[in-house]
Amino acid sequence: MRQADLSFFDYQILATLSESVDRTRRMSELAEATSSSLSRLSHAVARLESKGFVIRRRCDGVGRSSVATLTKAGVRKLVAAAPEHVASVRALVIDVLTKEQIGALRVIATRIVQRLDADDAG
Protein backbone atom coordinates (compact mmCIF):
# COMPACT_ATOMS: atom_id res chain seq x y z
CA MET A 1 0.00 0.00 0.00
CA ARG A 2 3.08 2.24 0.08
CA GLN A 3 2.66 3.18 -3.58
CA ALA A 4 -0.94 4.21 -2.95
CA ASP A 5 0.07 6.20 0.16
CA LEU A 6 -2.60 4.39 2.18
CA SER A 7 -2.25 2.12 5.16
CA PHE A 8 -4.18 -1.15 5.15
CA PHE A 9 -6.52 0.41 7.72
CA ASP A 10 -7.08 3.47 5.51
CA TYR A 11 -7.88 1.18 2.58
CA GLN A 12 -10.28 -0.81 4.77
CA ILE A 13 -12.11 2.37 5.78
CA LEU A 14 -12.46 3.54 2.18
CA ALA A 15 -13.59 0.09 1.01
CA THR A 16 -16.16 -0.21 3.80
CA LEU A 17 -17.57 3.22 3.01
CA SER A 18 -17.71 2.36 -0.70
CA GLU A 19 -19.99 -0.60 0.10
CA SER A 20 -22.33 1.48 2.27
CA VAL A 21 -25.58 3.15 1.24
CA ASP A 22 -24.74 6.60 -0.15
CA ARG A 23 -21.08 5.76 0.67
CA THR A 24 -21.88 6.90 4.24
CA ARG A 25 -21.71 5.19 7.65
CA ARG A 26 -22.19 6.27 11.21
CA MET A 27 -18.73 6.42 12.82
CA SER A 28 -19.70 3.85 15.48
CA GLU A 29 -20.85 1.41 12.77
CA LEU A 30 -17.69 2.05 10.76
CA ALA A 31 -15.57 1.32 13.83
CA GLU A 32 -17.38 -1.97 14.33
CA ALA A 33 -17.13 -2.89 10.63
CA THR A 34 -13.37 -2.27 10.65
CA SER A 35 -12.80 -3.90 14.06
CA SER A 36 -11.44 -0.64 15.40
CA SER A 37 -11.88 1.59 18.40
CA LEU A 38 -13.68 4.87 17.82
CA SER A 39 -10.51 6.72 18.82
CA ARG A 40 -8.31 4.92 16.28
CA LEU A 41 -10.97 5.32 13.60
CA SER A 42 -11.38 9.01 14.37
CA HIS A 43 -7.65 9.66 13.89
CA ALA A 44 -7.60 7.71 10.61
CA VAL A 45 -10.72 9.44 9.28
CA ALA A 46 -9.18 12.82 10.17
CA ARG A 47 -6.13 11.91 8.04
CA LEU A 48 -8.34 10.77 5.17
CA GLU A 49 -10.45 13.90 5.53
CA SER A 50 -7.36 16.13 5.30
CA LYS A 51 -6.54 14.43 1.98
CA GLY A 52 -10.07 14.99 0.67
CA PHE A 53 -11.03 11.30 0.59
CA VAL A 54 -13.68 11.43 3.34
CA ILE A 55 -15.93 14.06 4.87
CA ARG A 56 -17.32 13.90 8.37
CA ARG A 57 -20.43 15.59 9.70
CA ARG A 58 -22.60 15.48 12.80
CA CYS A 59 -25.86 13.53 12.71
CA ASP A 60 -28.97 15.59 13.25
CA GLY A 61 -30.58 14.95 16.63
CA VAL A 62 -28.34 12.06 17.66
CA GLY A 63 -26.19 13.52 20.44
CA ARG A 64 -22.50 13.44 19.61
CA SER A 65 -22.89 10.96 16.78
CA SER A 66 -21.33 11.66 13.40
CA VAL A 67 -21.08 10.05 10.00
CA ALA A 68 -18.27 9.62 7.50
CA THR A 69 -18.87 9.83 3.75
CA LEU A 70 -16.55 8.71 0.98
CA THR A 71 -15.92 11.53 -1.50
CA LYS A 72 -15.46 11.21 -5.27
CA ALA A 73 -11.72 11.70 -4.69
CA GLY A 74 -11.89 8.87 -2.15
CA VAL A 75 -13.54 6.59 -4.69
CA ARG A 76 -10.81 7.40 -7.22
CA LYS A 77 -8.13 6.69 -4.60
CA LEU A 78 -9.76 3.37 -3.68
CA VAL A 79 -10.03 2.29 -7.32
CA ALA A 80 -6.40 3.23 -7.94
CA ALA A 81 -5.22 1.34 -4.83
CA ALA A 82 -7.31 -1.81 -5.42
CA PRO A 83 -4.94 -3.65 -7.79
CA GLU A 84 -2.00 -3.23 -5.40
CA HIS A 85 -4.19 -4.31 -2.48
CA VAL A 86 -5.28 -7.47 -4.28
CA ALA A 87 -1.68 -8.23 -5.29
CA SER A 88 -0.49 -7.72 -1.70
CA VAL A 89 -3.15 -10.01 -0.24
CA ARG A 90 -2.31 -12.62 -2.84
CA ALA A 91 1.44 -12.40 -2.13
CA LEU A 92 1.08 -12.35 1.66
CA VAL A 93 -1.73 -14.88 2.10
CA ILE A 94 -2.62 -16.98 -0.94
CA ASP A 95 0.78 -17.57 -2.52
CA VAL A 96 2.32 -18.90 0.72
CA LEU A 97 -0.35 -21.58 1.21
CA THR A 98 -0.53 -25.03 -0.31
CA LYS A 99 -3.60 -26.18 -2.21
CA GLU A 100 -4.69 -28.14 0.87
CA GLN A 101 -4.22 -25.13 3.15
CA ILE A 102 -6.29 -22.95 0.82
CA GLY A 103 -9.03 -25.58 0.99
CA ALA A 104 -8.87 -25.54 4.78
CA LEU A 105 -8.92 -21.74 4.78
CA ARG A 106 -12.03 -21.81 2.58
CA VAL A 107 -13.78 -24.15 5.03
CA ILE A 108 -12.74 -22.04 8.03
CA ALA A 109 -13.77 -18.76 6.39
CA THR A 110 -17.13 -20.21 5.36
CA ARG A 111 -17.78 -21.36 8.93
CA ILE A 112 -16.89 -17.92 10.30
CA VAL A 113 -19.14 -16.13 7.80
CA GLN A 114 -22.02 -18.50 8.62
CA ARG A 115 -21.60 -17.69 12.31
CA LEU A 116 -21.49 -13.96 11.64
CA ASP A 117 -24.58 -14.18 9.45
CA ALA A 118 -26.40 -16.13 12.18
CA ASP A 119 -25.42 -13.50 14.77
CA ASP A 120 -26.69 -10.71 12.50
CA ALA A 121 -29.99 -12.52 11.93
CA GLY A 122 -30.72 -13.17 15.57
Q: What is the pLDDT of residues 64-120, one digit of tens each?
A: 789 999 999 999 999 999 998 889 889 998 999 999 999 999 999 999 888 877 766
Yes or no: say if 78 and 4 are a contact pair by the CB < 8 Å rule.
no
* Mean pLDDT of all residues belonging to the chain: 90
Q: Is the pLDDT of residue 30 over 80?
A: yes
pTM of the full structure:
0.78
Q: Where are the domains of the chain?
A: 8-96
Element (H, E) at 69: strand 66-70
Q: Identify the architecture of domain 8-96 in CATH.
A: Orthogonal Bundle (1.10)
